[in-house]
Chain A
Amino acid sequence: MATAQSTKTHSVSIRGLAQSYGSLQVLKQLDLDIPDGEFLVLLGPSGCGKSTLLNCIAGLLEPTHGQVFIKGKNVTWEEPSKRGIGMVFQSYALYPQMTAERNLSFGLRVAGMAKDEIEKRVKRASEILQIEPLLARKPMQLSGGQRQRVAIGRALVRDVDVFLFDEPLSNLDAKLRAELRVEIKRLHQRLGNTMIYVTHDQIEAMTLADRIAVMKAGAIQQLDTPLTIYSKPRNRYVAGFIGSPSMNFIKAKVAGTVKVPTVEVAGQKVDISEYAFVDGAVVGRDVEFGARPEHIRILRAKDATAKGIIAATVELIEPMGSDSLVWLELGDQKLSARVESSEHYKSGEKVGIQFRIDQASLFDLQSGERI
């Protein structure tokens, strides 16, 4: 089979995977290839199907249609334990009556592995995760971060090809989350396994992923490297979902000529000839013009005479410490711009703003696709 052939070079391949409950379609005919050693993040809001996809890969859910390949082998009908996967859950899912050590070794004991081999693997995993002093404790006696380490260890001892993470950091507080995030990245660098990581947290996705799959309503909206997704979102949805604070969107119309296209923003013309159109400029098209806060430059009113500068009013300032967010009024539009925290603006101040057109995005108003 042609499809089976092409799955050989990949660690995990999904072919036409669909999942539905009655009339509710959770996954729609999904295809996905994950190369060996890749860290793939499935990112999306709750209910987008990302956990369903992960559970199908794990074998904890039977798909309505489609196939799952792991290491070139069709595992669609295989038991979870026979797929060569290890899984880490949001709620840790440690067996409460067993010590950390017993939690780590449970799967190996089920598989009937020799005792000294079990000991060796538990020792290695607990060294990597630095949980050796905790091995005799029960989950109740561990903190959240320690529990999640043990849970990662449980996947580690299985010596698997593919790690599956189902929102593993969502139950932790912000500081621990940042710590463990780095540790998971370190773990990936050290082991080089394929990892599939489900989250709704875009920071986790940006920092961890080799590639991010942004999902919505059971379909992948965009599958790209984090930076591509950030700078060249394929559609309006991805653009709005990634980035905090969110990208600024302004409804506009492409005008001017094909050579020198412009958009009109709040009655003022902006030259967009620097913009890299996907298929060339289409004059007269209704679009949404998108610019991230860091791609808006604020100029003092007295400097605001040059071409391509449009007038705006400062509404309020949110200091973030590392930088500040300035909210601007532009007609009836509200825009946010990121500035250095040393720059001070007063509310009500008249300023000029300039967009970095080469970093901006244009989306078709109807379809929402990038143009």
Chain B
Amino acid sequence: MSSPSTNIEPTGPRPHPWLEWDRVVVYAFLTLTALYFLAPLYIVIITSFKDLDHIRDGNIFWPQTAYPDGVHFYDPWRRAWWEVCTGLECHGISPNFWNSVKVTVPSVIVSVAVALTTGYALSNWPFKMSEAFFTVLIVGSFVPYQVMLYPMVLLTKNMGIYSTLTAVIFVHTVFGLPFLTLLFRNYFASLPVELFKAARVDGAGFWRILIQIFVPMSLPILTVAVILQVTGIWNDFLFGVVFAGLPNYPMTVKLNNIFTSSFGVKEYNVEMAATILTGAVPLLIYFLSGRYFVRGIAAGAVKG
């Protein structure tokens, strides 16, 4: 028998091999997944900077480095923004960019503001039937849009706003409300109720509690709501096609028309540029607010 002192006694952290098998699997999976999602984006970006000859003859994975005289790397982008035609109309995608802005900004502001107030009222100022109202909201947020499409067309026609941007704004605001209200109501319900009580003892009323106490505490959930609405409304196609009318098409509808209605040579580079331009806004929003977005999704972690 060997004496205990000659053995190596365990002490401190257990030794780990430098590379562990399960780690290799995890990193391999992550790398493959990242490539899978990034490769299309890469191809779209480099294609948007190529001229048509290069697209035809060159390698799809290889960026173009040299341009013939009079051809610029930004030409497809310029064409996409100002010149590309759908049918007889040749103003590029820029007018539709502004249409999308005109729809998104008011819809987001109105729907978030109304949902914020309603959610707060539902959570902190219960009234008769407020539970029933809440149930209707939950049901409302699960009704598929297609079901409501025809009634909405009739409604906007009767309101005299069909085929205008106002109709699109109206529809987006209305359809955004159930889910947003649910979101805000649940967030406010997760805040400590004693905070609300303390504010009432301090003499604050409905609006003062909302604006001075609750809204400053709601930045994470406000961020989530704004991102959801901006991306949702910006990316919307259906309501744009149905309610906007030809001159008011939002960017997504226009992009589709560029793809489907071009005759002659298919300008892949211009289409890619238009695609990136259309996707730029949601992409930018995610990049700028990603941190807050994650924080808001994981909300409830607001401890006083």
Interface pair B203/A91, CB less than 8 Å apart:
no
Task: Report A19 CB to chain B, min CB distance, Å.
Answer: 16
Contacts A92-B304, A93-B192, A94-B304 given: A85-B204 contact, CB under 8 Å? no
Among A103-111, A126-134, A211-219, the stretch that binds chain B is A103-111
Which single residue of chain A is at the shortest CB-CB distance from B197?
A: A60
- Cβ of B199 under 8 Å from chain A: yes
Contacts A94-B304, A97-B216, A139-B304 given: A81-B194 contact, CB under 8 Å? no
CA distance A140 to B217 in the complex (A): 13
Contacts A91-B194, A96-B217 given: A111-B203 contact, CB under 8 Å? yes
- Cβ of A230 under 8 Å from chain B: no
The interface bits of chain B over 161-205 (1 if a CB of A lies within 8 angstroms of the residue's CB, else 0) are: 000000000000000000000000000000010110111111110
Q: Chain B residues near A80 (CB, 8 Å)?
A: 197, 200-201, 203
The interface bits of chain B over 261-304 (1 if a CB of A lies within 8 angstroms of the residue's CB, else 0) are: 00000000000000000000000000000000000000000101
Q: Chain B residues near A97 (CB, 8 Å)?
A: 216-217
- Cβ of B208 under 8 Å from chain A: yes
Q: Chain A residues near B302 (CB, 8 Å)?
A: 96
- Cβ of B246 under 8 Å from chain A: no
Q: Chain B residues near A90 (CB, 8 Å)?
A: 194
B197, B198, B216: most-surrounded residue (chain A CB, <10 A): B198
Contact of B194 among A93, A107, A110, A154 (CB under 8 A): A93
CA distance A80 to B304 in the complex (A): 23
Which single residue of chain B is at the shortest CB-CB distance from A86?
A: B201
Task: Report A83 CB to chain B, min CB distance, Å.
Answer: 9
- Cβ of B213 under 8 Å from chain A: yes
Contact of B198 among A55, A59, A93, A111 (CB under 8 A): A93
Q: Chain A residues near B199 (CB, 8 Å)?
A: 95, 106
Which single residue of chain A is at the shortest CB-CB distance from B219?
A: A97
CA distance A106 to B204 in the complex (A): 9
The interface bits of chain A over 185-202 (1 if a CB of B lies within 8 angstroms of the residue's CB, else 0) are: 000000000000000000
Task: Report B213 CB to chain A, min CB distance, Å.
Answer: 6
Q: Chain A residues near B204 (CB, 8 Å)?
A: 106-107, 110
Q: How large is the interface on A (under 10, 10 to 19, 20 to 34, 35 or more residues)?
A: 20 to 34
Interface of B is mostly: helix
Which single residue of chain A is at the shortest CB-CB distance from B198?
A: A93
Residues 108-130 (chain A) with a chain B CB within 8 angstroms: 110-111
Q: Chain B residues near A241 (CB, 8 Å)?
A: none
- Cβ of A335 under 8 Å from chain B: no
Interface pair A93/B197, CB less than 8 Å apart:
yes
Task: Report B39 CB to chain A, min CB distance, Å.
Answer: 44
Interface pair B217/A107, CB less than 8 Å apart:
no
Interface pair A154/B202, CB less than 8 Å apart:
yes
- Cβ of A312 under 8 Å from chain B: no
Interface pair B304/A93, CB less than 8 Å apart:
yes
Interface pair A110/B203, CB less than 8 Å apart:
yes
Q: Chain A residues near B201 (CB, 8 Å)?
A: 58, 60, 80-81, 85-87, 107
The interface bits of chain A over 127-165 (1 if a CB of B lies within 8 angstroms of the residue's CB, else 0) are: 000000000000110000001000100100010000000
The interface bits of chain A over 58-73 (1 if a CB of B lies within 8 angstroms of the residue's CB, else 0) are: 1110000000000000
CA distance A169 to B216 in the complex (A): 27
Q: Chain A residues near B202 (CB, 8 Å)?
A: 81, 106-107, 110, 154, 158
Q: Which residues of A contact B (CB under 8 A)?
A: 55, 58-60, 79-82, 85-87, 89-97, 106-107, 110-111, 139-140, 147, 151, 154, 158, 166
Instruction: Known A-B contacts: A87-B198, A89-B194, A147-B304. Give 13 more (CB < 8 A).
Output: A55-B197, A60-B201, A81-B201, A93-B197, A96-B217, A96-B304, A97-B217, A106-B199, A106-B204, A107-B203, A110-B203, A151-B198, A154-B198
23 A-B pairs, CB-CB below 8 angstroms?
A55-B197, A60-B200, A60-B201, A79-B200, A81-B202, A91-B194, A93-B192, A93-B194, A93-B198, A95-B199, A95-B213, A96-B302, A97-B216, A97-B217, A106-B199, A106-B202, A106-B204, A107-B204, A140-B304, A147-B304, A151-B198, A158-B202, A166-B194
